[in-house]
Structures are given as C-alpha cells and as structure tokens.
Amino acid sequence: MAEFTNGGAPEKVIDQVLAAFESIGFVIEGGRASKIVMKTWGFPHDGVTSAWLTLRNAYKTLGKVDLAEQAKEFARIVSVLP
C-alpha cells in the first residue's frame, strides 16, 4: 500500500485500510474527514499495527495531521496488546 501513499492515491489507501479493519471486526466511525471514533476493537491480527501506520502515512500525505496522530496512537495501543 505504500505505493498508493507515495503515488498520489492516499484516499484509496484510507478506504482500503478502513475496509480491512471492518473485515476483522473493527467498528470505526469517522476516519475519512473527521475524528476517528473506535466503537469496537476487532481481531488482534499481526498486521493491525502496520495497517494503522499505513493509515497514518496516508493522512500525513493529505495534510490531515490530527487524523495522522490518532492513527499513530492506535498503532501504539495495538502494539502493546497481548
């Protein structure tokens, strides 16, 4: 997905990562233009931390600093879960 964030399609990356989260049970409100609200934490898959960081990079590419910081914090949270 890094090629999308570097190649000018960060919106597509955001849509794909949020859909991937949904597919493993995450219920997230916002995340495209507004604050990320975590309604339900999904399955603690090995790739979740990386996915949050990919999302952070896409937000940074779009200049959405607040959303990028939220995604970074969620990456930190999931990285310490058992």
Question: According to the model, what pLDDT value does residue 45 have?
Answer: 81
- Domain interval for residue 42: 2-79
21 DSSP assignment: H
Tell me the residue ranges of DSSP E strands in 1-82: 27-29, 37-40
Length of the chain, in residues: 82
Query: What is the residue-averaged pLDDT of the chain?
Result: 89
* Total number of domains in the chain: 1
| pLDDT at residue 33 greater than cutoff 80 | yes
Stronger pLDDT, 34 or 39, i.e. the higher one:
39
